[in-house]
Structure 1
Amino acid sequence: MKKVNWQKWKARVPLLVVLISMAVSFYFAIFYSVRAARLLQSQYTGEEVTYLSWLIGSNDHVTLLGVICVSAIGYFGFLISTRVKLFKKKWLRLINFLVMHVARWSGLIAYGMGGIDSYVIPFFENRLENVITTDAFIESILFEHTSGFYLMLIALPILFVGFVLLFLMAELGLNVQELKKAFFNFEYKGKWLQKFSKLEEVDVWPDVELGLSIKNQEMVTIPGFDRSLNSLIVGGIGTGKTAALALPMLNQDLHHMTRFINAFPTLREREDYLSKDVAGRHLNGITVIEPSNDLCQKTLQLVKAHGIPDEAITYINPLDPNTPSINPMRGPVDKVAEVFAQIIAGLNDSGSSGNFFFEQAQRNHLKQHIYLLKLHDPDLQPTFGALIDMYNNPTLVHKMHEQLKKTLPKNIDDIEERQERNYWKIIQGIDEWFDLTILPKKERGAGGENWVTDDLGNVQYYDAKSEHVQGLRNILNDIGSNPYIRNVLFGESEFDFDEHFAKGGVLLVNTAKGQLVDLARVLGKLVLMNLQNATFRRPNDVSPFHHIMVDEAPDYFYDSFSEFPVQSRKYKVIITTIMQTIAQLADTYGENYMTTIIAGMRNRMVYGDVPAMDAEYFSNLFGEKIVFDEGQTEMSVSPLQDNPQTRGGSSYAKKREQSMTPGEIMFQDAFNCAVKIVVNNQPIPVQRIKANFLPPEAFQSAEVRVGELPLQEWLSYRRGEIDVIKDSEEVKVIEEVDSELVEVEESVAIEKEKVREDTKLDLELEREQAIADKVARMSHDTRPTDKLPASLIRSISFDQNGMHAEIEPAADVSNDVQNEIEQPQSAQKAAASPVKEPIAPMAAESSPEAAPPVQKEVRVFDMGFGQQQPNEPAEIDEEEEVVSIFGVPEAKNETPSEQEEIAYKESVISKKHDSFYHQLQNGVEMNIKHNSPSEKGKDGK
Structure 2
Amino acid sequence: MLYAGIVFCMAVTGVILMFQTTFIPAPLFPLGIGGILVILFYAWKWWKKMHNPKASRLLMLTMTLWLVMALGSLAYQYWQWEQMVSKAFMMRLAIVFFGMAGIYANIMYIRAEKAYRQKRGNQRITENPEKGYKTYKKHFKQSKRKNSDELVTVLGHSIEQDNLPIVWKGKDMFTHMLVVGATRSGKTASVLEPMIYQLLLQKKQGKNLGLSVVEPKGEFAEKVKDFCDEMAIPYIYVDPTSPHTQKFNPMEGNVEDVVEGTVIVLRGLFGKQDAFFANVQELAARNVTRLLKELKGDDTDLMEVLETLRDFTLLQQRTNELRMQQGETDLIHSIDNELLGSMAEKYRQFVIGLRAQLENITSNELLKNIMTGKSDVDVDAHFANDGVLIVNTALGTLKKAGDAFGQFLIMHLQNGTFRRPGTEDTRSPHFMFIDEYKRYINPQVEIFLSLAASYKVSGILASQSLGQWKWKQATSAPVP
Q: Which residue of 1 aligns with 2:197?
A: 251
CA distance in 2, matches of 1:524, 1:438: 29
Q: Which residue of 2 aligns with 1:211?
A: 156
1:317 matched to 2:244? The reply is: no
Alignment CA distance shift 1:468-1:194 (3 Å): closer
Q: Which residue of 2 aligns with 1:430?
A: 331
- 1:324 positional shift: 1.3
More strand by share: 1
The one-letter amino acid of 1:286's match is L
Contact 2:407 2:441 in 1 (8 A): yes
CA distance in 1, matches of 2:142, 2:309: 64
CA distance in 2, matches of 1:338, 1:384: 14
- 1:259 positional shift: 2.0
Contact 1:398 1:438 in 2 (8 A): no
Where in structure 1 are there 5+ consecutive unaligned residues?
A: 1-192, 261-281, 410-426, 442-460, 594-941
1:307 matched to 2:307? The reply is: no
Contact 2:284 2:339 in 1 (8 A): no
Q: Which residue of 2 aligns with 1:858?
A: none
Q: Which residue of 1 aligns with 2:401?
A: 519
Q: Which residue of 2 aligns with 1:854?
A: none
Q: For 1:535-684, what aligned pairs fall within 5 Å after superposition?
A: 535-539=417-421, 540-541=423-424, 542-590=426-474
CA distance in 1, matches of 2:201, 2:417: 23
Q: What TM-score do the two structures reach when normalised by structure 1?
A: 0.34
Choose which of 478, 481, 484 in structure 1 pairs with 2:366.
484
The one-letter amino acid of 2:195's match is M
The one-letter amino acid of 1:405's match is R
Alignment CA distance shift 1:398-1:523 (3 Å): same
Alignment CA distance shift 1:521-1:198 (3 Å): closer
CA distance in 2, matches of 1:243, 1:194: 19
Alignment CA distance shift 1:491-1:568 (3 Å): same
Q: Which residue of 1 aligns with 2:287?
A: 368
Q: Which residue of 1 aligns with 2:320?
A: 402
Alignment CA distance shift 1:321-1:388 (3 Å): farther
The one-letter amino acid of 1:475's match is Q
1:509 matched to 2:391? The reply is: yes
Contact 1:205 1:225 in 2 (8 A): no
Contact 1:210 1:222 in 2 (8 A): yes
- SS of corresponding position for 2:155: strand
C-alpha distance after superposition, 1:471-513 (max 9, x if no partner): 1111111111111211221222242011011012221111111
Q: For 1:817-896, what aligned pairs fall within 5 Å after superposition?
A: none
- SS of corresponding position for 1:215: coil
Q: Which residue of 2 aligns with 1:805?
A: none
- 1:387 positional shift: 1.0
C-alpha distance after superposition, 1:777-817 (max 9, x if no partner): xxxxxxxxxxxxxxxxxxxxxxxxxxxxxxxxxxxxxxxxx
Contact 1:437 1:464 in 2 (8 A): no
Choose which of 260, 271, 275 in structure 2 pairs with 1:356.
275
Instruction: Point out the more displaced range, 507-516 or 316-325.
Output: 316-325
Alignment CA distance shift 1:543-1:477 (3 Å): same
C-alpha distance after superposition, 1:868-890 (max 9, x if no partner): xxxxxxxxxxxxxxxxxxxxxxx
Q: What TM-score do the two structures reach when normalised by structure 2?
A: 0.66
Q: Which residue of 1 aligns with 2:255?
A: 333
- 1:201 positional shift: 2.7
Contact 1:207 1:227 in 2 (8 A): no
- SS of corresponding position for 2:211: strand
Alignment CA distance shift 1:399-1:286 (3 Å): same
Choose which of 181, 195, 205 in structure 2 pairs with 1:235.
181
- SS of corresponding position for 2:444: helix
CA distance in 2, matches of 1:303, 1:507: 11
Alignment CA distance shift 1:200-1:493 (3 Å): closer
- 1:313 positional shift: 1.5
CA distance in 1, matches of 2:476, 2:291: 36
Contact 1:316 1:324 in 2 (8 A): yes
Contact 1:233 1:579 in 2 (8 A): yes
C-alpha distance after superposition, 1:872-923 (max 9, x if no partner): xxxxxxxxxxxxxxxxxxxxxxxxxxxxxxxxxxxxxxxxxxxxxxxxxxxx
- 1:320 positional shift: 2.2
- 1:198 positional shift: 4.8
More helix by share: 2
Alignment CA distance shift 1:255-1:499 (3 Å): same
Contact 2:237 2:245 in 1 (8 A): yes
- 1:224 positional shift: 3.3
The one-letter amino acid of 2:331's match is I
- SS of corresponding position for 1:559: coil
- SS of corresponding position for 2:205: helix
Alignment CA distance shift 1:521-1:197 (3 Å): closer
Alignment CA distance shift 1:215-1:561 (3 Å): same
CA distance in 1, matches of 2:141, 2:254: 50
CA distance in 1, matches of 2:141, 2:240: 48
- 1:397 positional shift: 1.4
- 1:462 positional shift: 6.1
Alignment CA distance shift 1:367-1:304 (3 Å): same
- 1:559 positional shift: 1.3
CA distance in 2, matches of 1:365, 1:199: 54
C-alpha distance after superposition, 1:42-78 (max 9, x if no partner): xxxxxxxxxxxxxxxxxxxxxxxxxxxxxxxxxxxxx
- 1:255 positional shift: 1.3
Q: Which residue of 1 aligns with 2:223?
A: 298
- SS of corresponding position for 1:210: strand
CA distance in 2, matches of 1:198, 1:512: 38
Alignment CA distance shift 1:566-1:330 (3 Å): same
The one-letter amino acid of 1:471's match is G
CA distance in 2, matches of 1:509, 1:196: 32
The one-letter amino acid of 1:250's match is I
**Alignment RMSD:** 2.5
Alignment CA distance shift 1:316-1:294 (3 Å): same
State the aligned residue count: 337
C-alpha distance after superposition, 1:380-413 (max 9, x if no partner): 622222111111222221121111112235xxxx
Alignment CA distance shift 1:322-1:393 (3 Å): farther
Alignment CA distance shift 1:507-1:592 (3 Å): closer
- SS of corresponding position for 2:389: strand
Contact 1:395 1:462 in 2 (8 A): no
Alignment CA distance shift 1:199-1:289 (3 Å): closer
- SS of corresponding position for 1:202: coil
Answer 1 or 2: higher relative contact order, Cα 8 Å, separation at least 6.
2
The one-letter amino acid of 1:516's match is L
Identity %: 27
The one-letter amino acid of 1:316's match is V
CA distance in 2, matches of 1:434, 1:355: 22
Alignment CA distance shift 1:199-1:223 (3 Å): closer
- 1:527 positional shift: 0.8
Contact 1:291 1:551 in 2 (8 A): yes
C-alpha distance after superposition, 1:83-120 (max 9, x if no partner): xxxxxxxxxxxxxxxxxxxxxxxxxxxxxxxxxxxxxx
